[in-house]
Amino acid sequence: MQQQTKTLFIIAGVIVLVLIGYVWYSSTKVPSSALPKTDTATKTTTEVKPRSDVTVKQAEVSDIGSSFKLPAGFPATIPVEQKSITESYSAYYQTHKATQYTISYGSFKTVAEKWDEYNNFMTQNGYTIPKETSIKSKGLISGTKGKENLSVVIITQNQKTVVHLTLLKQD
């Protein structure tokens, strides 16, 4: 049991590092307004196998416009501003029997307001939030509940709050 917890924290740490890398990469890339427009009317689910033991599924575009739907299997109880989803996918890791759900979305709320929202949600729903993974001033919060690990990174980008959340669930 202690080994599983240790493994979950290692995986969560890797996920947080990936999110930080993504945030850095996003801040250095060309703005989406400068890119050619794509046809969002086509609703497809993309399935990719980067390794033989990993299956990645990108969620479909929603009927709302150019935002994405939540990935299949993502718990509806976790707060997400669904009309503003810019990234949404899941990855199943057969070797670890775990599914990673990753979602990014924009918000008009401040970083502090979004952090409070996730802190309240996690506290009220029984997540254990270690002090070292909960840094309001940096917009970071992470916690575990059973075989789930929820990590949230909240940043300001182009005068808008952007929330990146990753949920790792072991079978």
- What is the pLDDT confidence band of residue 4, given thresholds at 50, 70 and 90? low
Taking the C-alpha atoms of 100, 171, 149 and 73 in order, what is their torsion angle to the nearest 10 degrees? 50
Give which of 87, 112, 111, 113 is closest to 101, Cα–Cα: 87
Percent of the chain with pLDDT over 90: 51
pLDDT of residue 69: 86
Residue 139 has a CB neighbour count (10 Å cut-off) of 21
CB-side neighbour CA atoms (13 Å) of 63:
0
pLDDT of residue 80: 96
Model confidence, pTM: 0.67
Q: What is the mean pLDDT of residues 146-169?
A: 95
Domain residue ranges in the chain: 2-32+48-170
Please answer whether residues 97 and 171 qualify as being in contact, where contact means their C-beta atoms are separated by less than 8 angstroms: yes
What's the residue count for the chain? 171
